Amino acid sequence: TLFGAAKMVQEGREPDDPFNPFSYPDANNADEVNSMVENFLPRQTRKEGTIPTQAEVEVFTINVLGTVGKDTFQQSGKPEPISGGFLVRGKMAPKLKDDGDKLIQMLDEKIDELIPQAWSEKYQVSYMTDPTPQMLMDDDMNGAPVLVVHSRDMSPSASTLLNTGVSAVSIFFTFVFAVSIFGQNDFVMQRLNDAQGQSNYDLTWFNQLVTPFLFAIGITQLSHEVA
């Protein structure tokens, strides 16, 4: 298990199985650190253009932790860049009695009070188990809790090409459905069959039947895509 591998590392031993997926990652190797972090943080936090910069994270650490840290979370080092954001090490104020929910509530209130609203609209702070290899070196096998500053935008990302393809297929099947409805109407089918026997038949009357239905579906689909 992960905890068993961690204990072996603390004792200076390596796991016997070199293919063990829980082998100890190298804390100095950014790729291995980020690979471990990505098991904790959802991929939505790593969307391009949404990850905070160090300067933006320091807006939080200086203005909030630097002001009320002794009553909330006492920072012990500089923010560390990780995949999807920044990690802030430290210790929760004793008076909170390890109540993570209370900590985040207090931090959110101070963020609203001490930082411009534009910051909180883009980023948020989470309190979680240390997602880096340092977790395996702590006496507590669950790792020391830390603060992580990451994007507030957690909406799922999807390929534009995929969205376009799905919309095109939906529109096609909607058209087939609309036409098939009239295919079950004996009167409509009789008129269509009679028209096929004429050299210059006019289907304007049929288009007038189908158009309102397609128009209604099209407006609904367009509204969905815009939203």
Kindly tell me if the per-residue pLDDT of 99 is higher than 80.
yes
Distance CA 33, CA 126 (A): 19
| CB distance 110 to 93 below 8 Å | no
Q: What is the pLDDT of residue 13?
A: 46
Token pair belonging to 57: 């994270």
Kindly tell me if the per-residue pLDDT of 56 is higher than 90.
yes
Least confident piece of the model among 68-82, 83-97, 110-124, 198-212: 198-212
Helix (H, G, I), strand (E, B) or coil at 64: helix
Q: What is the pLDDT of residue 16?
A: 45
Kindly tell me if the per-residue pLDDT of 67 is higher than 80.
yes
State the average pLDDT over residues 82-98: 90
Kindly tell me if the per-residue pLDDT of 206 is higher than 80.
no
Question: Tens of pLDDT along 105-117?
Answer: 999 999 999 999 9
- The H or E element containing residue 75 is strand 73-75
Kindly tell me if the per-residue pLDDT of 92 is higher than 90.
yes
Going by C-beta distance under 8 Å and a sequence separation of 6 or more, which residues neighbour residue 103?
72, 73, 92, 93, 96, 127
Q: How large a percentage of the chain has pLDDT more than 70?
A: 68
pTM for this entry: 0.57
Banded pLDDT at 135 (limits 50, 70, 90) = low
DSSP letters spanning 110-170: HHHHHS-HHHHHHEEEEEEE--SGGGGGSSSTT--EEEEEEES--PPP--HHHHHHHHHHH
Q: How large a percentage of the chain has pLDDT more than 90?
A: 32
Q: What is the pLDDT of residue 142?
A: 59
Helix (H, G, I), strand (E, B) or coil at 90: strand
Select from 218, 219, 191 the least CA-distant residue to 203. 191
> Helices 186-196 and 160-183 sit at what angle, rounded to 10 degrees?
90
Question: Tens of pLDDT along 9-33?
Answer: 445 444 444 445 555 656 566 666 6
Question: Tens of pLDDT along 147-189?
Answer: 999 988 877 665 566 667 777 787 777 777 777 777 777 777 7
Kindly tell me if the per-residue pLDDT of 57 is higher than 80.
yes
Banded pLDDT at 130 (limits 50, 70, 90) = confident
Q: What is the pLDDT of residue 226?
A: 64
Kindly tell me if the per-residue pLDDT of 203 is higher than 80.
no
Q: What is the pLDDT of residue 24?
A: 61
